[in-house]
Amino acid sequence: MDDEVQLLSDGDGLAVIGSPTAVELFLTLEGLASKDLGLPRLGAVFRAGAEIAQAAPEIASLAGRWVELTKESAHLVEKHGLRKNGKSGLGTGVVKPRKGGSRFGGVLDFAKDPVSQLSNPALLSGAPGLMAQLAMQQTMDEITDYLATIDAKLDDVLRAQEDAVLADMIGVGFDIDEAMTLREHGGRVNEVTWSKVQGASATIARTQAYALRQLDALAEKLERTTRIADLAETAKAAQSKTQDWLAVLARCFQLQDAIAVLELDRVLDVAPEGLEGHRLGLRAVRQKRLETIAQTTGRLLARMDAAAGTANAKVLLNPIQSPAVLRSREQVSLAVAEFHDRLGIESGGQSVEARAWSSAAAEFRDKVLESGAEGVDVSKRLGNETFDRARSVTGRISGGIAGRTLRRRGGDADRFEEAE
């Protein structure tokens, strides 16, 4: 069995577990970059039951690596025919190299031995928790890069608000960042560290709710505005404010993921038998947060699209304000798309092309000269066609707990073959 590897996938990442030599061979043949899974941290799980204690020394000798599922790696789930467990949602399988060692074959039957290294229940229940932590940390890194890319003055945005809970967010962020640093250096989350952050969730949730309300308010104001001049002003305000509130939401999401990572460590420490249930609960809660965020940003984009369609239809009478609305709409769309990308929300939509006044006027003139009064009807029809091209950008959520960067994914947990 030294040449076999256990594959586990939760739709967001792939764990490769086996002897160090087998794991290295698999990753080399597949050309995959990976991170250490941290199997030694499952010592508490290995000690949880007497029936598996005898296998603990062998399990401790295994190597484990985690691979993020991207477009380049997601095909492995289908390639190796992993079978989905209906209860845990995990795709599992054991594979080994084919003759000649040039590549790995399909899924083998699990070993009959109940304490076999690769089919050990402690390993199968504990490893998914470690995988969830790595996936969430990957998203946290993406958000850090996102905030740096947009050069968001997040603290300034928070301090500028009168609501005290937003100011509290700064302090909560410091505490959580400190706890993550201590975890990185200490390898665990002790009671002292946990006591500093265990009440932070409420502050983050209130801050997230506040930011979502602000985005909803922008959408509602756009919906109530009809005059093009007013619409241009409202759209410009939405453009300037949207990025700020997206930055706040991104930071909230990052801190919520950090707390989830710390929670899994605490459960692993004090109640390892509950690790799998807690992982599934965190997955469901995180999914709901993503759906709420996608709905709010989707409403804002829908209102910006409608405003762009209105502006395009009236460009002849409003040659200055109409293009301004289109520019604001494009900037908001780009900002939301980048935000969705970092959180793992798939965005769909298309650009609404602004009709230059001179082009619209020339088109109108030519049609009138060619067909007289019929040209007026033609111009109206062309304006309506332009309006029809302003489509809503909607958010669709990934089913994985990490919800990670769907732009790079070619598959998810749904690709798993249901186990008999």
Q: What is the pLDDT of residues 330-346, one digit of tens each?
A: 999 999 999 999 998 87
- 33 and 147, same structural domain? no
Q: In terms of Cα–Cα distance, which of 147, 123, 98 is closest to 45?
A: 123
Single residue among 99, 124, 149 that ends a domain in this structure: 124
- 315 and 299, same structural domain? yes
Structural domain span for residue 87: 5-124
- 351 and 273, same structural domain? yes
Place of tokens 């970059």: 33
Single residue among 90, 124, 158 that ends a domain in this structure: 124
**The pTM is what?**
0.76
Q: In terms of Cα–Cα distance, which of 307, 314, 316 is closest to 360?
A: 316
E strand or H helix that includes residue 290: helix 275-313
pLDDT digits (tens, 9 = 90+) for 154-167: 666 666 665 666 77
- 146 and 28, same structural domain? no
Cα gap 377→246, rounded to integer Å: 42
- 151 and 110, same structural domain? no
pLDDT for res 379 = 39
Report CA-CA distances (Å) from 194 to 264, 277, 348.
11, 20, 40
- 305 and 163, same structural domain? yes
Greatest CA separation for the chain: 93
Asked if 204 and 169 touch (Cβ cutoff 8 Å), the reply is yes
Total domains, the chain: 2
pLDDT for res 156 = 67
- 293 and 365, same structural domain? yes
The residues of the chain scoring below 70 in pLDDT are: 1-2, 43-59, 98-122, 151-165, 315-319, 347-420
Cα gap 300→323, rounded to integer Å: 19
Ordered DSSP codes for 16-27: EEE-HHHHHHHH
pLDDT for res 87 = 72
Cα gap 303→141, rounded to integer Å: 31
Asked if 310 and 387 touch (Cβ cutoff 8 Å), the reply is yes
Contacts of 66 (CB under 8 A, 6+ apart): 13, 14, 15, 16, 34, 35, 36, 37, 130, 131, 134
**Two tokens, residue 159:** 């301090």
- 295 and 366, same structural domain? yes
Single residue among 108, 124, 140 that ends a domain in this structure: 124
Cα gap 288→190, rounded to integer Å: 29
- 162 and 112, same structural domain? no
- 160 and 117, same structural domain? no
- 401 and 265, same structural domain? yes
- 89 and 160, same structural domain? no
